[in-house]
Amino acid sequence: MGDEFVILSLAPLLIGICAAVACALPGNFLLLRRQALIGDAISHVVLPGIVVAFLVTGRIAAWPMMLGAACAALVAVLLIETIRRLGRVDAGTAMGVIFTSMFAAGVLLLEQSDTSSVHLDVEHALYGNLESLIWLDATGWSSLLDPRALAGLPPELPRMALTLLAVSVAIRIFWRPLKLATFDEGFARTLGIPVQVLSLGLVVTAAIAAVAAFDAVGSIIVIAMFICPPAAARMMTNRLSAQICWSVAFATLSAILGYVLAGYGPLWLGGTDAVSAAGMIATVSGLILAGVAVIGPHRTA
C-alpha cells in the first residue's frame, strides 16, 4: 500500500473504525438491557439540536452543531428516563414517544424559522462524508511522523479517536457495576450501586458516541453499529467480556471491509463509480449479523 493509500484512505478508514467501535461498545449493554433502539432514537432527536445551534450561531460549523446535537440528545435521554420511571412504561415506548416528538419539533422549527438559505442535506445526514475526509497534507507513510502534516489531519479523526478512548475508559471503569446492574437491577440496588445514575450514564455515553459518529460518518453507521456487532457477538459467546471483544472485532471488520468494498467493489463488478462507504459499512455489519445468526455457536431458540 502506497502513498496514495495514506492520503486518500488512511484517515477515513481510521475514522470509520473508531466510529464503529465507539458505537458498538455501549451497544453491547444497551442490547442486553433491551434498549438497543436508543441509537435510532438519538439519530432522530439531534435534528432540533442542530437547527437550534444554527439559529443561535447563524452559520454551519461542526462544533456548535455537535454541541446542539449533544444537548438535544441529553434532553431526549432525560425525557425518556423520566417517562419510563414516572409512567412505568417500557423503555421502547418512552423512546418512541420522545424521538418522534423531537424529530417533529426539529422539522417544525426548520419550517417556521428563516433557514431557507441553509441546505440541510438528507444524504449528508444519513451517509456522512467519510470519503471526503482525506489527508491532503500527507505525502506518504513518513507523514505519520511529520508534525506539520499531522496538523492537517481531518479534525474528525482526533475527535472520533478521543470519543472512542472516552467510551472505552468509561466502560472499563464502570464494568463491574454496569454488568451487575444490567443482569440484576434489584440486587444491584441492595449493594448500594446507584442504578439510575448508571443507567443514565450509559445512555449519555451512547449519546456522545452517537453524536460524534453522526457528525463524522452519518446516522446509518450509528444505527447499524449500536445493534449489529453486539447482536452478532452475543451469538458467538456466552461470556460478556468475550462478547465485547467479538463486537469490537465485528465492528472493525465491518468498517474495513465496508470501506474497501465501497471503493473497489463496483470496479471489480465492472462499474465505474464507488458507492457510499458508510452505507457499505452498515451493509457489511448487517451481513455479518445474518451470517452469525445462521452459524453462530450460541444462538438461542
Partner 1 sequence: MTLALPRTAPDQSPLAIRGLTVSYGEQPVVFSIDMTVQDGAMTAIIGPNGAGKSTLLKAALNIVKPLSGRITVYGQPLAQQAHRIAYVPQRASVDWDFPTEVLDVVLMGLYRDLGLLGRVRAHHIRQARDCLARVGMEDFADRQIGQLSGGQQQRVFLARALAQKADLYLLDEPFAGVDAATESAIIDVLKSLRAEGKTVVAVHHDLSTVRAYFDNVFLINRRKMGEGPIAAAFTPETVQATYGGRLADGQISQLTMGA
**Residues in touch with partner 1 (CB under 8 A):** 32, 88, 173-174, 176-177, 179-180, 182-184, 186-187, 189-193, 234, 237-240, 242-243, 300
**Closest to partner 1 by CB, 152 or 194:** 194
Pairwise CA distance, residues 84 & 263, whole Å: 43
- Specify the DSSP class assigned to residue 114: T
**Closest to partner 1 by CB, 193 or 222:** 193
**Closest to partner 1 by CB, 168 or 237:** 237
**Closest to partner 1 by CB, 45 or 181:** 181
Pairwise CA distance, residues 216 & 127, whole Å: 9
CB of 240 to partner 1, least distance (A): 5
Cell numbers placing 9: 484512505
CB–CB of 172/155 below 8 Å? no
CB of 213 to partner 1, least distance (A): 25
- Specify the DSSP class assigned to residue 2: -
In this structure, the chain runs to a length of 301
**Closest to partner 1 by CB, 59 or 176:** 176
CB–CB of 38/95 below 8 Å? yes
Tell me the H-state helices in 128-193.
147-151, 156-173, 175-183, 185-190
CB–CB of 230/247 below 8 Å? yes
CB of 90 to partner 1, least distance (A): 15
CB of 61 to partner 1, least distance (A): 38
CB of 241 to partner 1, least distance (A): 9
